[in-house]
Structure 1
Amino acid sequence: MTHTIRGAAALSLALLAGTALAASKDGPPVTAGALSGHVKILASDDFQGRKPGTAGEDKAVPYIEGQFKKIGLKPVAGSYLQNVPMTEITSKADGPLTVTGNGKTLAYEYFTQMMLWTRQRTAHAEVKDNDVVFVGYGITAPEFGWDDYAGVDVRGKTVLILVNDPGFATGDPALFGGGAMTWYGRWPYKYEEAARHGAAAAIIVHETRAAGYPWGVVANSNGIPKLTLIPADGGLDSRSAIEGWVQLDVAKEMMQAAGLDYATVKDSAARRGFKAVPLPLKVSVGITPTERDIISHNVVGMIPGTKRPDEVVMVGAHWDHLGVGPAVNGDTIYNGALDNASGVAGLIEMAKRYTHGAKPDRSLLFIAYTAEEQGLLGSEYYALHPLVAPAKTVAGFNMDGLGVLGPVRDVVLVGGGKSDLEDRLKAWAATHGKVVNPEPFPERGGYYRSDHFNLAKIGIPVVYAKSGIDSVANGADWGRAKLDEFTRLHYHQPSDEWSPAMDFTGGAADVNMLYDISHDLAFSDAWPKWYGKAEFRAAREQSQR
């Protein structure tokens, strides 16, 4: 204990000294007004919701590239653009999802009761009179001694899956992440795992609290054409033929038709020893998709280092949103002001601050990712095709949703317990009169829902930290209520729009905080490290051999 305290104190003093010495190297701090100005433009109706492969991208990408050029960032490998090839698949169920069993026939409608799609290249995707297996949380996790697919063959069948993971369901701190969602609780993992086991269709049961967002987010996010990275072999056959969600009431009715009680079966799925349950049901649904290939773009710019230019500190934010989609209160443009025009504004303004200061020892790479809203595709592509070798990438910083609640007393660390970048964050907070708190809604799995996750998977230490909820003017309860209100009413809705009432004072503090922490790394030879039990440590060690 004494050693830990002394180590933290020493780090804090070292960072303090570094900050003092670097003061003369700093450019002027980022301001709320500058952020608001970018958000007003990027989230305007003219940008059509910034969906990749649309007229919205044709406006957003040149805007960001133009800003990078204007402030003096250099291209990477001769270009400010990294091409990201994707297939856009437009698909919706041809008719209702029908379920038969025990003499009953049930039918569920698209958008209001179910959202089903295909991400395969195919003229027609279908399951007809298909067997159904309830696979609990749909998790295979040897490190937790957990396998929901043990002893059951789901090849060619439909699997019904619960969202989140058993730790959330039970609140047991020793089970998975306890109340905090792990990667195993996220929908991309569940679809991937179902496909690995050969399921023809993978359907997740939506529950608002367990998912972290209401049904409207599921419907609106998936009611638009969906993008998928094109694999090296050009195929997309690694996905189940049909993927999607059903409303909670649908799942309950299906279980009732199977002669089972939903609550009882759900409870058993969160217990060790759970065995998948074949249901006496058959499902049928068809999808006739259309597709087109597109080239989207990550936008990149660099400040070359003066002493160790081959070593790079990365700062990223995603530029995309959902584009034009289903009308909500007569509005069809999903502007994405907070999510994530704000992060792009922060990216531009942080880069500008660096260009007004001394040149760093290490290089700085600023990247605006495409297709985050489609499943972190732009950052996934970057991880597969990095512009700088992961072994030479010192650390990464992510901005996704800057603070708009005004000044706050706390900093939120999304997904703690990963790397000693968190020690640097805590040292910064201690010198600025703030506290570092865990995310207020850990069950939403924020660490696995933004682009830094793909950098972590290839071993790069990353941190995702932003303004907290303890408002200086109104307190923490008010801030928590505001965050919850945004998730319920505005997240992935057309109402996520720029307003002159947005207070980006907290957002500016976010950017200046990440500037300070990245600055210490850009002007040093330090290498952040994963904590001993972090799941990404092995990838880092492998990359640096």
Structure 2
Amino acid sequence: MRTHTRRARLLKGTAALALAVAMALPAVAADKVTKDVAPVTAQALSDHIRILASDDFQGRKPGTEGEAKAIAYIQDQFKKIGLTPAVDGSYLQDVPLTEIVSKADGPMVITGPKAEPLSLAYFSDMIVWTRQRTPHVQVKDNDMVFVGYGITAPEFGWDDYAGVDVRGKTVVILVNDPGYATGDPKLFGGGAMTWYGRWIYKFEEAARHGATAAIIVHETRAAGYPWGVVANGGSIPKLTLMPADGGLKSRSAVEGWIQLDQAKALFQAAGLDFNTLKDSAARRGFKAVPLPLKMSVGITPTERDVISHNVIGTIPGAKHPDEMVLVGAHWDHLGIGPAIDGDTIYHGAMDNASGVAGLIELAKRYTKGPKPDRTLLFIAYTAEEQGLLGSEYYAQHPLFAPNKTVAGFNMDMLSSVGLTRDIVLVGGRKSDLEDRLKAWTDAHMMALNPEPFPERGYYYRSDHFNLAKVGIPVIYAHSGIDSVAHGAEWGKAKEDEFTRLHYHQPSDKWSPDLDLSGGAMEVNMIYDLSRPLAFGTDWPKWYDKAEFKAARDKSMGK
């Protein structure tokens, strides 16, 4: 009986439940709620995903024919449902990128006085690339330094680069951060990854210290994904928002990863024990360790300039058109890459044709109801898979200034395994949008749970992060693992299975067997959370200890 009631509430969207949610959240006029239209359905989502993840769209890689088809489809949907073009009469915001195709000329060779040379094969043992605009990169007999987690964080009293000069050298870096490694709740984020644990940060920090090459040691649990994700992603051509200096100062000449077993062999060749040094790197007082080794590798990149596109439509506000509530999802995936089981198209059905489907259907639901007081902006970002580039560009070139952007919502990989009894909040302890989410889950008799894998740092791995960095309160929440039909153990197994077998692989494709009822629930949840802001005057606030509060205060002139 309880399951039947939940299904009725989630899927039919009764007026009584809508009113209950409106009462639990900041007020929206009752007449506007009761005039609401039918909620988003699983079938509507499936119809969009089937098209966007089809072979014809070639994996939706920015700068390819797949992009042209994807953005044409999204524009057509925005036009059909009546969204206003947001960029000077167009739905498209140009995002200038540079694509750099990198592949090692041969193996990475490690030499030292105490052991035979190590020859690390491209793809299977290591992945390297360059994001510099240069005809050739040659690193030969380069000194190596182990810099622990490669973190400089004054607020934590932590500096892995203290007392060591890595200019012109190769740094070897551990993935994630010391809080994850020790489980100490007082160290960084404890078991939850912080921004300092992300690979993007580590490469940027190595470049700031002048390193010629930065190599991260891959460990599946600490990274949050298996080696196949690293290898496939690293071997596919890279896109970047290229800085004015061509990357020569902002990026190291060589970036990459090595397999854990190869890292252990590397330390053994230096006469050192990897596990011992790894343990010491997670303790306060760690000092970088010069390695008696030399690294050599060559890369011959090719490049081309690409103009990609964010796709943006709005519903202009009737009372406060200069204030905006944003909902986003990235349209891109990895395109065509190495064959796995004979398939070279990385379809990206759940990641993230599903989010784009949700974006379209959410916008459609809004256009069927009364006009909002504030402007609603719907944005399909480009190049998320290349390092959150589309959202980074939008944050740098916003259509509404951060101090006019009320809040943001993100959809990335909607659920495909049915309804759950729980919602998972990604990140947590950030803003009072979480209080609104808690009111929603309470009204729906659902549990609100923290991330089951906080060490994976998902808060820093999707587009909402770039909005947060400029101070905009944002939230990313999705279905949990406690399946209504099968229970929590089944749900956890399904999530693990997707990460292991389908994430960033060609097998992430549409199927009529996908159960998108949970995905539809997520989209309708965002509707319920965003609606009081679209029809109200509230401004969500960061919690006092949130790392993004200072940026918001500055944008608001505080």
1:95 CA drift (Å):
0.4
Unpaired stretches in structure 1, ≥5 consecutive residues: 1-9
Q: Could you list the per-position Cα deviations for residues 56-99 of structure 1 after superposition, in whole angstroms to 9, with x for gaps in the alignment?
A: 10100100011001100001132100000000000111000000
Return the alpha-carbon distance in structure 2 between the equivalents of residues 493 and 475 of structure 1. 27
Q: Could you list the per-position Cα deviations for residues 127-149 of structure 1 after superposition, in whole angstroms to 9, with x for gaps in the alignment?
A: 11000000000000011111000
Query: Could you tell me which residue of structure 1 aligns to residue 13 of structure 2?
Result: none
Q: 2:76 aligns with which of 66, 73, 89?
A: 66
Q: Could you list the per-position Cα deviations for residues 517-543 of structure 1 after superposition, in whole angstroms to 9, with x for gaps in the alignment?
A: 000100000000000000000000111
Q: 1:57 aligns with which of 56, 67, 70?
A: 67
Query: Could you tell me which residue of structure 2 aligns to residue 299 of structure 1?
Result: 311
Q: 2:182 aligns with which of 167, 170, 176?
A: 170
Q: Could you list the per-position Cα deviations for residues 465-497 of structure 1 after superposition, in whole angstroms to 9, with x for gaps in the alignment?
A: 111111001111110110011001100000000
Q: Does 1:155 align with 2:167?
A: yes
Residue type of the partner of 2:59? Answer: G
Note if contact 1:230-1:236 (Cα within 8 Å) is conserved in structure 2.
no
Q: Does 1:377 align with 2:389?
A: yes
Note if contact 2:132-2:246 (Cα within 8 Å) is conserved in structure 1.
no
Query: Could you tell me which residue of structure 2 aligns to residue 195 of structure 1?
Result: 207
Query: Could you tell me which residue of structure 2 aligns to residue 98 of structure 1?
Result: 109
Could you tell me the percent identity over the aligned residues? 76
Residue type of the partner of 1:400? Answer: D
Runs of 4+ more than 3 Å apart: 10-14, 16-22, 232-237
Return the alpha-carbon distance in structure 2 between the equivalents of residues 232 and 384 of structure 1. 15
Q: Could you list the per-position Cα deviations for residues 322-359 of structure 1 after superposition, in whole angstroms to 9, with x for gaps in the alignment?
A: 00000001100000000000000000000000000000
Q: 2:157 aligns with which of 124, 140, 145?
A: 145
Q: 2:517 aligns with which of 502, 505, 511?
A: 505
TM-score for both structures, normalised by structure 1: 0.97
Return the alpha-carbon distance in structure 1 between the equivalents of residues 30 and 490 of structure 2. 35
Residue type of the partner of 1:81? Answer: L
Note if contact 1:117-1:244 (Cα within 8 Å) is conserved in structure 2.
yes
Q: 1:398 aligns with which of 401, 410, 415?
A: 410
Q: Could you list the per-position Cα deviations for residues 24-71 of structure 1 after superposition, in whole angstroms to 9, with x for gaps in the alignment?
A: 342220000000000000000000000000111010010001100110
Alpha carbons of structure 1 residues 19 and 468: separation in structure 2 relative to 1, 3 Å: farther
Query: Could you tell me which residue of structure 2 aligns to residue 484 of structure 1?
Result: 496
Q: Does 1:416 align with 2:436?
A: no
Return the alpha-carbon distance in structure 1 between the equivalents of residues 57 and 87 of structure 2. 28
Return the alpha-carbon distance in structure 2 between the equivalents of residues 21 and 171 of structure 1. 50
1:11 CA drift (Å):
11
Q: Could you list the per-position Cα deviations for residues 297-335 of structure 1 after superposition, in whole angstroms to 9, with x for gaps in the alignment?
A: 000000000000000000000000000000001100000
Q: Could you list the per-position Cα deviations for residues 194-235 of structure 1 after superposition, in whole angstroms to 9, with x for gaps in the alignment?
A: 000000000000000000000000011111110011224555
Q: Secondary structure at the match of 1:86?
A: strand
Residue type of the partner of 2:284? Answer: R
Note if contact 1:12-1:427 (Cα within 8 Å) is conserved in structure 2.
no
Number of paired residues?
Answer: 536
Return the alpha-carbon distance in structure 2 between the equivalents of residues 12 and 174 of structure 1. 38
Q: 1:121 aligns with which of 133, 141, 155?
A: 133
Alpha carbons of structure 1 residues 187 and 19: separation in structure 2 relative to 1, 3 Å: farther
Note if contact 2:101-2:302 (Cα within 8 Å) is conserved in structure 1.
yes
Note if contact 1:316-1:369 (Cα within 8 Å) is conserved in structure 2.
yes
Q: 1:438 aligns with which of 450, 453, 457?
A: 450
1:514 CA drift (Å):
0.3
1:18 CA drift (Å):
3.2
Return the alpha-carbon distance in structure 2 between the equivalents of residues 89 and 132 of structure 1. 26
Query: Could you tell me which residue of structure 1 aligns to residue 92 of structure 2?
Result: 81
Query: Could you tell me which residue of structure 2 aligns to residue 7 of structure 1?
Result: none
Q: Secondary structure at the match of 1:84?
A: strand
Q: Does 1:34 align with 2:52?
A: no
1:544 CA drift (Å):
1.2
Alpha carbons of structure 1 residues 270 and 437: separation in structure 2 relative to 1, 3 Å: same
Matches within 5 A, 1:70-469: 70-78=80-88, 79-101=90-112, 102-232=114-244, 237-469=249-481
Note if contact 1:200-1:240 (Cα within 8 Å) is conserved in structure 2.
yes
Return the alpha-carbon distance in structure 1 between the equivalents of residues 514 and 342 of structure 2. 23
Return the alpha-carbon distance in structure 2 between the equivalents of residues 103 and 219 of structure 1. 27
Q: Which moved more, 1:100-109 or 1:338-347?
A: 100-109
Residue type of the partner of 1:88? Answer: E
Q: Secondary structure at the match of 1:18?
A: coil
Residue type of the partner of 1:463? Answer: I
1:22 CA drift (Å):
3.5
Residue type of the partner of 2:36? Answer: D
Query: Could you tell me which residue of structure 1 aligns to residue 33 of structure 2?
Result: 23
Residue type of the partner of 2:546? Answer: A
Q: Does 1:493 align with 2:502?
A: no
Note if contact 2:24-2:439 (Cα within 8 Å) is conserved in structure 1.
no
Return the alpha-carbon distance in structure 2 between the equivalents of residues 379 and 207 of structure 1. 28
